[in-house]
Amino acid sequence: RCGVLQSRRAASGDRTAKSSLRSRVAEAETGVATNEKMKVLLRNVETTHERVNLYLVVGNSLRQLKQPLALNRIEVERQGPQRGCSVQGDAVQLQLAAMNLLRNAIEAIAEGPSRSRKISIELRKCPDSVTLAIGDSGPGWPGGTIEEALLKTSKSSGSGLGLYIVHTTMENHGGQIEVGQSPLGGAEFRLKFPRG
């Protein structure tokens, strides 16, 4: 509604509205340019392939996010084996992907009503794959495919790059990403990797 009013003022020659509109256009163009550069960088990033234990990746990610987890009083439940969950891949990219999903879960819980405040992390082993599932007690997935959600954000201060980083990491590792409902009531992202 505010945008419509500003557009009408700009169309009628209001200087303040024109200045505000120009500022918004410049911000949008900068955001698009940044996203495009990030897309190119992420597509062309070199992926090293070494044996990486996903249990350790998750542990490192949780240590990095200790403060926002504590500030939002979020309880983390971890399930699954500590060993035998290794994949061939790039430890830095894998940690970035895990941290982005965990950060999204923290923000989803923080923005919702203060009922259950939980994140579940589960590692599942199969003969030919390892799955990392991260679920939360937030409002849940709004619907649609992962591809439709790339580079979009529902947050006022978000860039929409988090899910794109996760998606690109999975492509770089020959894996798959799925989204569904978590047993905690919110969204659950499942990263499925070939066994390393």
Residue type, 57: V
Residue 18, pLDDT score = 65
Residue 40, pLDDT score = 52
The count of other CB atoms within 10 Å of the CB of residue 137 is 23
- β 86-89/118-125 pair status: unpaired
Tokens 């900068």 belong to 30
Beta bridge partners of 118: 75
Residue 1 burial by Cβ neighbours in a 10 Å radius (0-12, 13-18, 19+):
exposed
- Judged by average pLDDT, the poorest of 42-46, 164-168, 170-174 is 42-46
Q: What is the mean predicted confidence (pLDDT) over 140-156?
A: 60
Better-predicted residue by pLDDT, 9 or 92: 92
Per the rule left: phi > 0, alpha: psi between -120 and 50, beta: everything else, 17 is alpha
- Judged by average pLDDT, the poorest of 53-62, 64-73, 79-88, 161-170 is 161-170
Q: What is the mean predicted confidence (pLDDT) over 78-105?
A: 93
Residue 8, pLDDT score = 52
Residue 3, pLDDT score = 46
The winner for highest mean pLDDT among 45-49, 61-65, 84-88, 157-161 is 61-65
In total, the chain counts a number of residues equal to 196
Residue type, 109: I
Q: Is the pLDDT of residue 158 over 60?
A: no
Residue 23, pLDDT score = 65
What are the structure tokens assigned to 117, written together? 């405040």
Check if the beta carbon of residue 154 is closer than 8 Å to that of residue 142.
Answer: yes
Residue type, 107: E
Residue 170, pLDDT score = 92
pTM, rounded to two decimals: 0.72
Confidence of residue 196 (pLDDT cuts 50, 70, 90): low
